[in-house]
Structure 1
Amino acid sequence: MKLTTYGLLLLSLAAFVLCEKNAGQEIIQLTDGNFDSIVGTSDEWLVEFYAPWCGACKQFGPRYEAVARTLPGDLAVKLAKVDVDSSPGLASKFFVTRLPTLFHIKDHQVRQVDTKLNVQDIVAFLKDKQWENIPVWNGYFSPFSIVGTGVGYIGIFMKKLSSFPPWAVYTGLAVTILLIIVSFGVAASQGMGSEEDEDASRSDGAKTPSSPRTRKSRKVD
């Protein structure tokens, strides 16, 4: 009797462990620093962009966590989130203009997902591959394109620029504009000078017509 009881307990424990292993997903924090190394070319991701101060994000957060708990652990999709305040490069790469924003990524192809979907709809969206019915972003403006990479660097630069006092930013912009104007002025003056030198060399090198010689008249005696 005892052996039977212990056997049932062991079976129950094993079943519980297997269920825990096959249920639920971890939400990974993506940043400007780890995005390129973590998001592989053939990976499938669901990524939420949020901000700690965003009220709508606070409402969507528990729903997103419920999706992570509901998804089967053996499903190939990975869940992640991005703090736009601490990762301005990613926010710029994905052209995030409202929060929260949800993206599906598969084979570096990006699709935007409706954040109004409930937990069951998002799970079905991933399990049934409903994302195949959503148009893919234009490749030129993809976060993985040259344009997206450049926009990401601009976002990081602007974020760093915003950390400086306003007077320093305005002074830097004024000096930059002044240097550009001076550079154009110097280049223009050098161009005019070279044209004048060229004209002068042309005028010096040109042959002047020889003046006709006056012939001496001979006296006829």
Structure 2
Amino acid sequence: MKFLTLGLVLLSVITTVLCASKREILELTDSNFDTFVGESDEWLVEFYAPWCGACKQFGPRYEAAAKSIPDSLPVKLAKIDVDSSPGLASKFFVTRLPTLFHIKNHEVRQVDTKMKVQDIVNFLKNQEWENIEIWNGYFSPFSIVGTGVGYIGIFMKKLSNIPAWMVWTGLGGTIVLMIVSFGIAAQNGAFSDEDAPVTAGKSPSSPRPQKSRKVD
């Protein structure tokens, strides 16, 4: 009898674990985003940072919602670390954390992060996202503008990782090189009047003839 009870308990635990982990929250990055997010897919994506206090409060609700979403819904859940994926953070114009987006057919809608667990489930189940205005197509993360902004975000992140002394050394060297080049050009007469075109048979340096005044 004890073995039967123990077996039922273990079966219950295993079932609970399997049910709890049936919908995984994927970690999307700059490198794998385009591979995972297809045009016809439906996604709910959270932008967060490990150091963000508000993100730590929203995270458990987001994970609980993922476990409560019915299997019949085709929506996929993901999260993006803005520190390790600056390109995506720039493409989606993320200015505060956490930020939640719903994506369907590459149409992007920003979602309220103050929703409770059941609110998030109902939001997806009842397709309440249809009541939210779609982002302007010109500034969509999937537009040419969004793609360009993403590259700028990656570049700025790489630039910030360069030691300050290297940045200032490179800038100072460029300025010195420009000054030296200007001085050499001036010394060689690159800016003299000798190379100026001659107009009407007269040299630009020739003095203009003075009109004589008639003295009574």
Q: TM (normalized to structure 2)?
A: 0.73
Distance 1:56 1:183, change over 3 A: farther
- Answer whether contact 1:52 1:83 (CA < 8 A) is retained: yes
- What CA distance in whole angstroms lies between the structure 1 residues aligned with 2:52 and 2:100? 14
Aligned residues: 182
2:90 corresponding residue in structure 1: 92
Residues 52-94 of structure 1, C-alpha deviations (whole Å, 9 max, x = no match): 1111111111000001000012311100000111111111111
Which runs of no fewer than 5 residues in structure 2 stay unpaired? 1-7, 186-190, 202-216
1:128 corresponding residue in structure 2: 126
Distance 1:127 1:162, change over 3 A: same
State the Cα RMSD in Å.
3.3
Distance 1:75 1:166, change over 3 A: same
| Structure with a larger share of its residues in helix | 1
Distance 1:66 1:165, change over 3 A: same
Residues 109-134 of structure 1, C-alpha deviations (whole Å, 9 max, x = no match): 11100000001111111111111110
The code of the aligned residue for 1:120 comes to Q
Distance 1:113 1:170, change over 3 A: same
1:170-189 superposed matches below 5 A: 170-175=168-173
Residues 16-74 of structure 1, C-alpha deviations (whole Å, 9 max, x = no match): 69x949x8421010000000111001111000000111111111110000010000123
- What CA distance in whole angstroms lies between the structure 2 residues aligned with 1:107 and 1:182? 56
1:100-139 superposed matches below 5 A: 100-139=98-137
- What CA distance in whole angstroms lies between the structure 1 residues aligned with 2:181 and 2:122? 60
- The structure that has the greater radius of gyration is 1
1:65 corresponding residue in structure 2: 63
Residues 103-162 of structure 1, C-alpha deviations (whole Å, 9 max, x = no match): 000111111000000011111111111111101111111111111111111111111111
- What CA distance in whole angstroms lies between the structure 1 residues aligned with 2:178 and 2:103? 42
- Answer whether contact 1:46 1:102 (CA < 8 A) is retained: yes
1:153 corresponding residue in structure 2: 151
3-state secondary structure, aligned to 1:79: strand
Distance 1:173 1:114, change over 3 A: farther
1:168 corresponding residue in structure 2: 166
2:48 corresponding residue in structure 1: 50
- Answer whether contact 1:24 1:71 (CA < 8 A) is retained: no
- Answer whether contact 1:42 1:106 (CA < 8 A) is retained: yes
- What CA distance in whole angstroms lies between the structure 2 residues aligned with 1:123 and 1:177? 58
The code of the aligned residue for 1:69 comes to K
1:75 corresponding residue in structure 2: 73
- What CA distance in whole angstroms lies between the structure 2 residues aligned with 1:54 and 1:102? 14
- What CA distance in whole angstroms lies between the structure 2 residues aligned with 1:203 and 1:110? 67
3-state secondary structure, aligned to 2:78: strand
Distance 1:73 1:165, change over 3 A: same
Which runs of no fewer than 5 residues in structure 1 stay unpaired? 1-8, 187-191, 205-221
Distance 1:165 1:45, change over 3 A: same
Q: Quote the sequence identity (%).
A: 71
- Answer whether contact 1:140 1:147 (CA < 8 A) is retained: yes
